[in-house]
Structures are given as structure tokens and as C-alpha cells.
Amino acid sequence: MHEDFPSSSLGTFCAFSPFYRPLERSSEDVDIIFTRLKEVKAFEKFHPNLLHQICLCGYYENLEKGITLFRQGDIGTNWYAVLAGSLDVKVSETSSHQDAVTICTLGIGTAFGESILDNTPRHATIVTRESSELLRIEQKDFKALWEKYRQYMAGLLAPPYGTPLIEPHVPLRPANTISKVPSEKILRAGKILRNAILSRAPHMIRDRKYHLKTYRQCCVGTELVDWMLQQTSCVHSRTQAVGMWQVLVEDSVLNHVDQEHHFQDKYLFYRFLDDEHEDAPLPTEEEKKECDEELQDTMLLLSQMGPDAHMRMILRKPPGQRTVDDLEIIYEELIHIKALSHLSTTVKRELAGVLIFESHAKGGTVLFNQGEEGTSWYIILKGSVNVVIYGKGVVCTLHEGDDFGKLALVNDAPRAASIEDFNRILRDVEANTVRLKEHDQDVLVLEKVPAGNRASNQGNSQPQQKYTVMSGTPEKILEHFLETIRLEPALNEATDSVLNDFVMMHCVFMPNTQLCPALVAQYPFVPSQGTEQEKMDYALNSKRRVIRLVLQWAAVYGDVLQEDDVAVAFLEEFYVSVSDDARMIAALKDQLPELEKIHKVLLQQFNTGDERAQKRQPIRGSDEVLFKVYCMDHTYTTIRVPVAASVKEVISAVADKLGSGESLIIVKMSSGGEKVVLKPNDVSVFTTLTINGRLFACPREQFDSLTPLPEQEGPTVGTVGTFELMSSKDLAYQMTIYDWELFNCVHELELIYHTFGRHNFKKTTANLDLFLRRFNEIQFWVVTEICLCSQPSKRVQLLKKFIKIAAHCKEYKNLNSFFAIVMGLSNVAVSRLALTWEKLPSKFKKFYAEFESLMDPSRNHRAYRLTVAKLEPPLIPFMPLLIKGNSKETHRSSQGGRMIANTARTVRYCRSQAFNPDAAQANKNHQDVRSYVRQLNVIDNQRTLSQMSHRLEPRRP
């Protein structure tokens, strides 16, 4: 199935549509494609000029699972890059597809097919492993690119077209050694830091004596860490500073006096490269001035490189020498690797103890030969590896994130581990697994794990063990939790997290119609064996455990239970049962007040008084909404339906108003004219519209005639005259107040409904939808205001204004608006305005570069994760990234529920402290600032914005 434009997981490639084939693409089309492709891993190393040409000639393809792209021996006609999905590479010794063997899998970011340069036969058969999206370039276009951009492409293609497989005169570096040839930028960073120390704290570099031996011109590790923490706000911990100094150690710009390769925060001696020589010169006044100007940029560079260097340092240690902290750092990386999500926590922790770092020189290292017995499993951290078949040459190139050496194992981890270690880990896990079977089927699978963290068990010869649920039937999982809940408050910390995960996720596999009867059945349970006293004690504890679970269930679901008749009826019945028992059983009286409070809250209606008017309330599915639904002639009818109404109910309401409902369909239309016919069982469709999107109702035969409303185009005049008079800090503050209101209304359950589809639960995600739409609104606000500003000097002022607002949002820990503004400034319609950016003062360019570095997607957005880890609540997270990994497919795995539960825990943590607006700051703000940030009027059509941008600054010849 070859298509020019099906829907893409990368976002809408509107310029790839059949109406905009390569020869018909305008400059604006190319800008839109360029913006999308810049975010794709396959193209992150491509030179911008080369990527721009690819945008002019590339085709988009969407292939179903099992499609053969080409066969071994075919003469190729196209080059491909994988945008989504994966493809199997199969090779046959006899060139027959019947006996072809899969030798590797190509994932997102890989490219293949360069044999079209010389018309050599394909060395392998390529078959889609799953539904996949590809970018295709025809042979004539690819050859033209090769001729024009050979110098850029040589390092991106596999031999013999790209970098040679073995380069002469390049010595191979042993796996665990450090480079002795420092890069220019690290050499410069070392010089800046040395000069800064000599200028600000010259006593740190001096001759040191230890054990009757004198070490010339040395620093002490602990002092270096102390000093770095004092110099910049971008260094928040000693561990972070250690990683930054390790960058210099790896490049031999800073050396341990005994040539050890690990920087340590200890009383150990280190010497800068410049001080290796006798009578090293002191910095001149000019050098001191340069040092002051460049120090913060140097710190920023090292803070970005530090985490990787620290990880390499840990992984170079022999596994037996890794500390508890080392293992936790490795484990923290492993849990963010998507491909490892199906492995248990125990396996990941064990992997942290055996993974080994390997580094190989550019070109030439043969890790193993065809036919050899495999001894290791490898996954690529950086660089690429060629897969060579004797007599056939390079059949494919594996890149960062691909694995090889043991195809049946997981991929995407950044190291090599021995097969023996991995098999041992799997055997140990199986040995610690308990399986309960009924009728030869697993109904409950438990895994034995250490109770508590490693640090708490350190020094104990026999650490406590507990069993954690891996999988099972809902009924058996519920029984297990009811049997293992610890009733003593001090012992509940470890249990709460796992129990909370079950309570949070139960709606996916055990809806209330199933859970409530099961709880009713468990509450009066009395065992059939034992003395009367034993039976009474057991029954009492069983009741207390059920009450405990019900209390936690009600706490997690909160007001949502009001909308569920089954839940409300159960809680009424359950409250009566516990109240009756409490009259006779004194031990139950303590838990009755909590149940009574929940009972009252659920049965009373929301207060409609002043409190509700003053404080934004979450939107409930049962809340009614007045909404306009438009007709083909742009007239509209206003309907009143519940927020969670289905499309079928919307059609019925529209039909009642129009007097006819024959063959009506509901269409969601964006400002750019993209139309989507909604399915009858879709729910809560009003909040899923784009910023300027509208709902249309029409007979199916009129679908093609629908056009957007003029009002959907957005404003024609900017508001710079209004908000340029407002303080950047005031704007950021009021934006944060509004964003917090929206974020605080998002129920954790909406994350689940969003992931698995609200129509499957017939629930609304209105609060989450509005919060996500706010991100897009702010992003397009930035682009709209800049593109509507015709005066170059005013545009420069706008850039400065938005950078200031972003800085204040970051200060207020409003990361959602912070990233929205930065992404708005990164939008191609803004970033291409070279003449405007050239006039921006260097100070603001540095701020913007620092902001962009936090958006670095490498290592699963590690830069962002490290930043958030340092912040205390209350804070507003970058929501689109937070929910990015919560795909429906991911959560079908045994670890999937835990991943989405972790997301819910993150949201809970961010809101664990109340956001209390500063009264002085709030009073200082005028009402017009508050009103302005809540009523942004924007253009959300990327094509329109690109056209406006080109009118402001036409493309240079």
C-alpha cells in the first residue's frame, strides 16, 4: 500500500499531500517539511542544506506490516529512511526467500538503499516488521544529491559509498582507555576554568606534599567541586560537578597525578594540562577578561556533556567496584529506555551491575565474525556499526539505539553485556518467580524483590524480601493485595505505591462493574477452618484490609466517583455495612470517620456559591456545555449536551434543532481546511478541537464542499501595542497562575483515558485537553505576534520580550509555558528570520541557546529530566513530553501499567505542594494583564504563518 499522504505519527505532513507533489511544493511547503524532519532522528546529523534539498524531492510512504520493500538480488530504484515503525533485514545464502534468515532489524532513524548509486543488486530482502512510515528518494534525485553534497553524505552512508570500513593509519583504542587528544572546545574549556581559578582563587593551584612527595601545581578534587558549585546556578549538586570535571579528565585536559581515569570528589590531586609544563604562564589581563565573558558558556557546555561522561566513568569501573549510588545512576538511565519497558525492575537493576562500556576507534574494529559463537550482546550508544555478509558486502548499517549479537534480547540499552550475565539474570528472575496456576493457566505471577531500596539494605546480611505482582487475572490480583496489605501505618510506605498503581489502573482491566461486586464479596469473608477466635481475628483483619483498599480507591478517584452510579451505590451499601459492624466491633470504629466523610462528599452536590465562582473547578463529564455546530453555508445551531456526549448524541441534538438528521455526519475542521469525520462512538469532541478548529454537521455527500470559516484564520493585526507596555515578569506570573489552574484541574485518571481512548471508558479528558491546548496556544501566540509585526526593530524587541517571559516562567517553575515559548521561537516561521535574529543582542542569544539546550531530545530528553529532578513542588511540568511515552501499545506489556502509573505519580508530585500566588505580586498586576493572557488570539495554520514570514523576509537568492 503506497500512499502519498496518510496520517503520520510525526504530525500532519500537509505539504506531502497529493496536491503538493515535489514539483508543486512552494517555499512554505518546504519550510513545513523541514520543521518536521529536523525532529526525526534519521536526519539529526544531516547538514541543513542537504536536508533542505531532501525536503524538495522526498516522498512519504506508509506501509502495512509484512510488505516486502525489495528482495535480495533486485536492482534498486530508491533510497529510504525510517520515520516510524521497523523493518527486518533478511539474507539468504541461496538467494531464495524461503530460507532467508533475519539478521537484524532497522528501527526509527536508520537509512538504507544507497546501492542505487552504482546499480549493484540489493544484498538483502527488506520486509516491514510492523506498520511503518518511510521517506523515499528516487534514484535520479539521490544521485544528484550525492554529486552535490558528497562531502556531507560520506559520513552518513555505509561503505563503500561512505566512510571506509577500515581506515589506514587510525590506531584502535583499547576499550577502557581515555583519549589523549583533546578536542578544541574541551581544550578551550579547560583553559577558561584554569584561568578563572587563577583569577578568582589562585591558592587552589599550588604545589602539594603527600607522603614526603611533592606534586607540582595541583588542585584537590573536593576543592574543584566546591569551587564549581560556587560559580554558576546551572550546577546544582556535587554529582553533577563531578560529571563536568570528568569531561576534562576524559579528554586529558585535567589529569590525575597517578593517571587514574575517574574524577573523584576526594582529597586527590589533579593537574590542568597547561600546568604539566615547567613555569606555566599566568593569565594576562586580557585573558582574564575573556575568561569572565566565556565562563558561563563553558559551564553550560560542561553541564550538558557531564551526565554522559559521568555514566561512562561508572561503566568503565569493574562491576564489582560500583557503589550503590553508581548502580542507582545506571538504573535511572535504564528505566527511561523505551525498549526495556517490558523487563522487570529486578532485571534492570541486575543489568546495572553487569553492563560494560566499550569504546572503539573510528572504522575498522571487528566485534565478531560471521559464523563465530556469540558471547556478548551489544547495543550502540554512539556511532554506527556495519553488518557485513561474506561475498555480499555491507547489507545494512546499525545506528544509535540498534542492537546486535543476540536478536532475541532487548534493544536500546547503551552498553554491552555478556550473554552469560544476561542468561544468569533471566534464570535468577525465573527462580524468584512464583506462579499460581488454575487449569494449567497462570492466574497470578509474583516476583521476589528486595524490600525497600538498596541503600536501606546495605550492610544487612539478609535483606528483607517481598513479592511484587507481575501479571495475573484481576480477581487474583485483588485477592493478593487484600491478603498482603499491612495494617500497621509504619509498614505501609512500600505497599502504598504498588497498591496505588493497582487502584489507579484497575479501570483498564477491572472496571467498577467488576471491582465493586468483588469487594462486596471479600468484605464479609470468613475462613472455613480454625478455631472460632482464629476465624474472628481473620475476618476482622480481612474487613480492615477491604476498608483500607476502599479508602485508597476513593482517595484516588475522588469526585469522579460521583458520575458512576455503580460506585455510588456500592459506597452507600459499604458504608451501611461497616457502620453496622462498627457497633459490635470496636476495632472498626477508627476507620468509620474517613468512610463517613467520603460518603457525605459523594452524596452532596457541588456547591454553587461563591467558592465555586472564585476557584476554577474541574470539568466533569456530566457538566452541560453550550456549543456551536456549523453548517455548510456557515450558519450555525447552538446545542446543549453533556461534555462527555458521544458524536451520536451530538448528531441527535443537531437533528432536533435542524428538524432533520438524515445521513448527518459530524466533521472536525482545522483552520487550514483539514477535515476529519468523527466516529459515532467518539466522546467529548468539543475539547479535542484545535485552537481555531470548529465542528460542522452536514450530509455525507456534502463533505467535500465544506470550507473553513473566515474567523478560523485568526487575527490580522498583532497585539504588540498592548502587551509591550506590560512587564515581562507580570505576564509570566499571570500565565503561571492560569496554567496552574488548568493543570490542577487535570485528574490523574485522564492520563489513562487519554492513552487507551476515552471512548473505551465513555469518559471525558476535557481538563487534560484544555491544558494541552494551552501549550499550543502559547506556542502559536509567539509565532503569530512576530509574524504580524512588520517593523524589523519591533520584531527584535518582541524576541527580547518573549525570551524574558520564558526566563520568568522558568523562574516560576512553569515549564509548560517555558517550553511553549521556546518552541514558538524555534518554529521555522520565526527561526528563518535571519535579519531579525542578527540584530538580537548577544546576551539574549546566549539565553535562548541555553533554553534550547533543555529541549535536547537525546537520551530520552535527559537534559529536561535532570532539570526537573532539581525542582521542588509546586511546579508545572512540560505536559506534552510527560504523556509522550504513554502509548497504548507500550502499556500492553507487563510493565506498561507501571509506566503510566509513574506518569501519574509525577503529576501528583508536581502538585504535592499548593501553589499560593504571591499577594504582593498579584496585587501589583493590573486586571488587563490577567485578562490578556487568558484570551490569546492566534493563527494556528502553519502554512499561513510561513507565508507571512516569507513576506517579512523573502528567501535570500
Q: pLDDT-based confidence at 381, cuts 50/70/90?
A: low
What's the whole-number average pLDDT of the chain?
79
CA distances, 534 to each of 20, 117, 522 (Å): 78, 82, 17
User: Residue 876 has which C-alpha cell?
Assistant: 508545572
Residue type for 398, please?
L
- Residue-wise pLDDT for 421-432, tens only, equals 555 665 666 667
Q: What is the pLDDT of residue 374?
A: 56
- Residue-wise pLDDT for 253-299, tens only, equals 999 988 888 899 888 999 999 888 877 788 888 888 888 888 888 88
- Residue-wise pLDDT for 112-121, tens only, equals 888 888 888 8
| Whether residue 341 has pLDDT greater than 50 | yes
Cβ-based burial of 261 (10 A; exposed 0-12, middle 13-18, buried ≥19): middle
Q: Is the separation of the CB atoms in 560 and 746 below 8 Å?
A: no
Q: Cis before residue 168, ω within 30 degrees of 0?
A: no
Domains of the chain: 1-164+379-405 (2.60.120.10), 184-316 (1.10.10.10), 466-603 (1.20.870.10), 624-712 (3.10.20.90), 719-952 (1.10.840.10)
Q: What are phi and psi of 68, to 5 degrees?
A: -85, 115
Residues 142, 58: Cα–Cα separation, whole Å: 10
Q: Is the separation of the CB atoms in 382 and 110 below 8 Å?
A: no
- Residue-wise pLDDT for 758-815, tens only, equals 888 888 899 999 999 999 999 999 999 999 999 999 999 999 999 999 999 999 999 9
User: Which residues does 127 contact at the CB level (< 8 Å), separation at least 6?
Assistant: 66, 67, 68, 69, 87, 88, 90
- Residue-wise pLDDT for 680-728, tens only, equals 999 988 888 999 999 999 998 999 999 999 999 999 999 998 888 899 9
Mean pLDDT of 874-886: 83
Cβ-based burial of 281 (10 A; exposed 0-12, middle 13-18, buried ≥19): exposed
Mean pLDDT of 912-931: 77
Of the chain, the percentage scoring pLDDT greater than 70 comes to 75
CA distances, 40 to each of 135, 720, 740, 857 (Å): 11, 34, 31, 10
| Whether residue 503 has pLDDT greater than 50 | yes
| Whether residue 49 has pLDDT greater than 90 | no
Mean pLDDT of 480-501: 67
Mean pLDDT of 598-605: 60
pTM: 0.72
Residues 306, 784: Cα–Cα separation, whole Å: 37
Lowest mean pLDDT among 76-85, 175-184, 528-537, 777-786: 175-184
Residues 279, 202: Cα–Cα separation, whole Å: 15
Query: Please, where are the H alpha helices in 694-747?
Result: 720-723, 728-745
Lowest mean pLDDT among 170-184, 359-373, 870-884, 930-944: 170-184
Which range of 263-267, 483-487, 848-852 scores highest in mean pLDDT? It is 263-267
Mean pLDDT of 318-322: 80
Q: What is the pLDDT of residue 874?
A: 93
Kindly report the number of other CB atoms within 10 A of residue 550's CB atom.
24
Mean pLDDT of 591-596: 81
At 575, which helix (H) or strand (E)?
helix 565-584
Nearest one of 166, 183, 180, 182 to 362, comparing CA atoms: 166
Q: What is the pLDDT of residue 922?
A: 59
Residues 581, 488: Cα–Cα separation, whole Å: 21
Rounded to the nearest 10 degrees, the angle between the axes of helix 748-756 and helix 766-787 is 80
Rounded to the nearest 10 degrees, the angle between the axes of helix 285-316 and helix 842-853 is 0
Mean pLDDT of 601-625: 61
Q: Is 737 left (phi over 0), alpha (psi -120 to 50) or beta?
A: alpha
Kindly report the number of other CB atoms within 10 A of residue 315's CB atom.
23
Q: What are phi and psi of 912, to 5 degrees?
A: -70, -20
Residues 602, 349: Cα–Cα separation, whole Å: 43
| Whether residue 554 has pLDDT greater than 80 | yes
Q: What is the pLDDT of residue 6?
A: 33
Q: Is the separation of the CB atoms in 243 and 225 below 8 Å?
A: no
Residues 196, 231: Cα–Cα separation, whole Å: 10
CA distances, 285 to each of 65, 197, 198, 217 (Å): 66, 14, 12, 21
Mean pLDDT of 868-890: 78
Q: Is the separation of the CB atoms in 445 and 433 below 8 Å?
A: yes
User: Residue 701 has which C-alpha cell?
Assistant: 455527500
Lowest mean pLDDT among 158-167, 310-319, 329-338: 158-167
Residue type for 258, please?
D
| Whether residue 348 has pLDDT greater than 50 | yes
CA dihedral over 174, 175, 176, 182, signed as positive or negative: positive
Q: Is the separation of the CB atoms in 251 and 315 below 8 Å?
A: no
| Whether residue 889 has pLDDT greater than 60 | no
Number of Cα atoms under 13 Å in the Cβ half of residue 193: 32
Q: Is the separation of the CB atoms in 130 and 65 below 8 Å?
A: yes
Q: Is the separation of the CB atoms in 572 and 601 below 8 Å?
A: no
Helix (H, G, I), strand (E, B) or coil at 214: strand
Lowest mean pLDDT among 317-321, 396-400, 461-465, 582-586: 461-465
The better pLDDT of the pair 884, 419 is held by: 884
| Whether residue 244 has pLDDT greater than 90 | yes
| Whether residue 496 has pLDDT greater than 70 | no
Q: What is the pLDDT of residue 409?
A: 37
Q: Is the separation of the CB atoms in 137 and 370 below 8 Å?
A: no
| Whether residue 27 has pLDDT greater than 60 | yes
Q: What are phi and psi of 430, to 5 degrees?
A: -65, -35
